Amino acid sequence: MSEHIKHMLYTTIPAFVIALIVYSIMGIKFSGNAIDNQKIDGVMNSLQANFVISPWLLLIPLAVIFLVFKKVPALPALTVGIILGFLADIFVQGGSIGEAVNALQGGYGIETANETVNDLLNQGGLDSMTYTVSLAMVAMIFGGLMESTGMLNVIVEQILKIARTARSLCATTVVTSLM
């Protein structure tokens, strides 16, 4: 076993065990006995009344997964998914080009008698991602400024003085990420 894999086990196995425990508890708590079948039927009926549901539509996410598997860069792969979804909205679901463009920009909107379906589907679009994208851009600009002024090198040198072993590197990584 390589050294890299051995060091990964210190962080991977505890995270796996914690996730296993949490999901087991959630599975027991929210098992089939606690599910309201009428609510599920209501959601299914509402979706079937408003949309064409076909296994063929799974080809769209499968195409994106295939492109990612073939190591196509993320932006072209996602662009293919967006274009295929756009075309599916028009040709399969029967939407108009204007509605499809509005869904891309502002997110999809629908009003049904089922509140769960409304909560599930009324969101998204480029507008909803503006805050996240702008935060990422500001963080990259800040990182670039720190690197160009030399501040980042000073911080890294101080961290490397503390992080002498693999364990201390893990600890300083956790502490610096929290800071």
Q: How confident is the model at residue 6 (pLDDT cuts 50, 70, 90)?
A: confident
Q: How confident is the model at residue 35 (pLDDT cuts 50, 70, 90)?
A: low
Q: pTM for this one?
A: 0.59
Are 60 and 86 in contact by the 8 Å Cβ rule? The answer is: no
Average pLDDT, the chain: 88
Does residue 49 surpass a pLDDT of 80?
A: yes
- CA 32 to chain CA mean position, Å: 27
For the chain, the domains span 1-33, 52-124, 129-179
Q: What DSSP string runs through 66-124?
A: HHHHTT--HHHHHHHHHHHHHHHHHHTS---HHHHHHHHHH-B----S-HHHHHHHSB-
Q: Model confidence over 160-178: pLDDT tens digits?
A: 888 888 888 888 888 888 8
| Residues above pLDDT 70, as percent of the chain | 95
Only one residue has tokens 């929210």, namely: 30
Task: Name the helix (H) or strand (E) containing 169.
Answer: helix 166-178
Confidence (pLDDT) at 1: 58
Q: Which residues are CB-contacts of 54 (< 8 A; sequence separation ≥ 6)?
A: 92
Residue with more model confidence, 29 or 46: 46
Q: Model confidence over 81-132: pLDDT tens digits?
A: 999 999 999 999 998 999 999 888 888 888 888 888 888 888 888 888 889 9
